[in-house]
Amino acid sequence: MLNIKTIDDASINERVYQLNLGPQHPSTHGVLHLLLKLDGEVVIAADPIVGYSHRGHEKMAENRIWEQFLPNTSRIDYLSGLIYNQGYCMAVEKLCGIEVPERAEYIRVITSELNRISSHLLGIMAFVMDIGAFTPFLYGWDDREHVLDLLERVTGSRLTYCYNRFGGVRNDIDQEFCDGTRRFIDRLRGRFKDYHNLITENIIFIKRTRGVGIITEETALEFGVTGPSLRGSGVNYDVRKNEPYSVYPEFDFEIPVRKEGDVMARYQVRMAEMEQSMNIIEQALDNLPEGPVRSHVPRFIDPPAGDIYFAFESARGAVGYYIVSDGTRVPYRIKVRTPSFSNLFVLTRVLPGNFIADAIATLGSIDVVVPEIDR
C-alpha cells in the first residue's frame, strides 16, 4: 500500500534539489510560493510564484463607479487599509479638484499614522517570529489591539476600513478618541524599552540578522525597491518628505535611514519609523483645527477626462494610483503601483548564496503582504 518511489539513477548524482517554500507556509505571511533551488543548505536560485490570492481589483475598477471602488482599496493591502483609502480619495480629489477641509486632512493623517503603527507592529513581530521568537508576537499584538480599539471607535472596522470619502472623512473624531490616542502613545513609548531589550539586544537575533540579505543601493535602484527596505540601504526616500502631500509639510519629523542594508537595518528603520509616526500623531493632535470634516461633494462625481498619477507612502513603501478617466462616472483604468511587488522580486537577486534560514529571515524583513502583490 505504501508506494515507495523507485530511485531513478538520474536523480542520484544530481546535487540541486528544488524545494517549494510553498503557498501554505508559516513564514510566507500569506500565500506566497517561493520555488528554491538548493545545493544542500545553500540557495542557488529563488523564483517567487505569485497569484494565489489574485482577486482582480483592477478589473473591478473598470466596472463600478468611483465610489464603489472605495472598499476595494483597503482590501488591496489590508494592513495599511486607511493609508490606501486616503491615497485613493486624494488621487480622485486631485483629479476633480475637490477641496478638503483642514480638519479632515488632520484626521486623515492621524488615522493613517495610527494604521502605519499597527501595520509595522504586525510586520516586525511576524518577522521576528519567523526567526524563532514567539513572545514579542504576543506583546506586539497586545499593543496592536489597542490601536484597533481606537480606530474601531471612529471608523467602525478593525482591518478593512472604508472611512475616507471624496472631500473628507465619514464622521468626526471625538475627545475620547484624542485622549485614548495620547494614552496609547505614552503606553507604546514605555513598551519600546521592552522591545529593545527583548529583540534588539538579543544575541541570537543579532547573529541571525547582522550582515544577512544585504540589498545594495544599486540593486534597489534596478528593482524599484521603496519603503523601509530601501531606507535600510542608505537611500533617504520617503514620499511624505520627498513629494509632500496632504498636511505632512506642517509636521516636523525626520526619516530614519540606515546604511548597512541588511536585515537588522530594515528592522531598526521600522522601529524608528514607529517613533516618528508617534511624533506626527502628537503634533497633529496638538493643533487639530475645528471645522467641518467633509466638504459638500455631489453624490456621484463626474471627474474630467485625463490621467493622473498620485504617489503616497504606505507602511511598505511608495504606493501609486495611476488613474485614467474618460469623463464618465466609471473609471477607464486604475493601476495600483504596490511597493511589495517590487520589493519581493529583489529577492531573486538577494537570496542566491544564502542559507535557507537566512532566506526566510530576508523574506520576513522585506515584510510583504501577498494580496498587495497579487492585487
Partner 1 sequence: MPSIDRSADHSVELKESPAILGFAALQDLLNLARVNSLWPMTFGIACCSIEMMAAGMARFDLDRFGIIFRSTPRQSDVMIVAGTISHKFVPTIKTLWEQMPGPKWVIAMGNCAISGGPFAYEGQYAIVNGADKFLPVDIYVPGCPPRPEGLIQGLLQLQKKITKGTIDANRRAEKAARRAKK
Partner 2 sequence: MFPQMMQSGLYDFFFVFIFFIISIALSLVMVTFNALIGPNFMGEKKTDTYESGMAPIKTAWMQFGASYYLFALIFLAFDVDVLYLFPVLLIYQKGAGFSELTALILFLFLISLAIVYAWRKGVFIWR
Partner 3 sequence: MPTEGQKKLLEELKNSLTRALPEGRITSGDYARTGCHLEVRLSDVGMRRVAAVMKDKRFHLETITAVDFPGSFELIYLYSTYYDDICRVIAHIQILKDASPHTVSAIYPGAIWLEREIYDFFGIRFLDHPDLRRILNPDNADYFPLLKTFGKTKLTEEIDDILC
- Shortest spacing between CB 338 and partner 3, in angstroms: 9
Residue ranges that bind partner 2, judged by CB under 8 A: 2-3, 5, 7-8, 11-15, 17-25, 33, 39-42, 355
- Evaluate whether 86 touches 312 at the Cβ level (below 8 Å): yes
Cα(256)–Cα(274) distance, rounded to whole angstroms? 10
DSSP per-residue codes, 291-321: S-SB----SS--PPSEEEEEEEEETTEEEEE
Q: Which of 186, 178, 146 is nearest to 285 (CA)?
A: 178
Q: Within 10 Å of residue 224's Cβ, how many Cβ atoms?
A: 16
Taking CB under 8 A as the criterion, the residue among 16, 19, 45, 138 binding partner 1 is: 138
Question: Smallest gap, in angstroms, from Cβ of residue 72 to partner 1?
Answer: 7
* CA 130/CA 363 separation, integer angstroms: 9
Question: And the C-alpha cell for 276?
Answer: 516618528
> According to the binding rule CB under 8 A, does residue 332 interact with partner 1?
no
Least CB distance to partner 1 at residue 293 (A): 25
What are the angstrom distances between the C-alpha of 341 and each of 21, 198, 362, 374, 375? 18, 31, 15, 8, 10
Among 35, 47, 53, 322, binds partner 1 (CB under 8 A): 53
- Nearest residue to 201 via CA among 193, 211, 213, 191: 193
Of the residues 18, 20, 68, 135, which one makes contact with partner 3 according to CB under 8 A: 68
* Binds 273: which of partner 3, partner 2, partner 1, none (CB < 5-8 Å by kind): none
Among 66, 166, 223, 251, binds partner 3 (CB under 8 A): 223
Measured CA to CA, the distance from residue 140 to residue 158 in angstroms comes to 16
Q: Which of 82, 110, 122, 363 binds partner 1 (CB under 8 A)?
A: 122
First-to-last C-alpha distance (Å) of the chain: 43
Q: How far is the CB of 77 from partner 2 (least distance, A)?
A: 23
Give the binding site for partner 3 (CB under 8 A): 50-51, 54, 56, 58-59, 62-65, 68, 94, 220-224, 230, 235-237, 242-243, 300, 306-311, 318, 320, 322, 324, 328-330, 332-333, 335, 337, 341-342, 345-346, 349, 374-375
Give the binding site for partner 1 (CB under 8 A): 22-26, 30-31, 51-56, 59-60, 63, 71-72, 75, 78-79, 122, 137-138, 141-142, 144-145, 148, 158-160, 370-371, 374
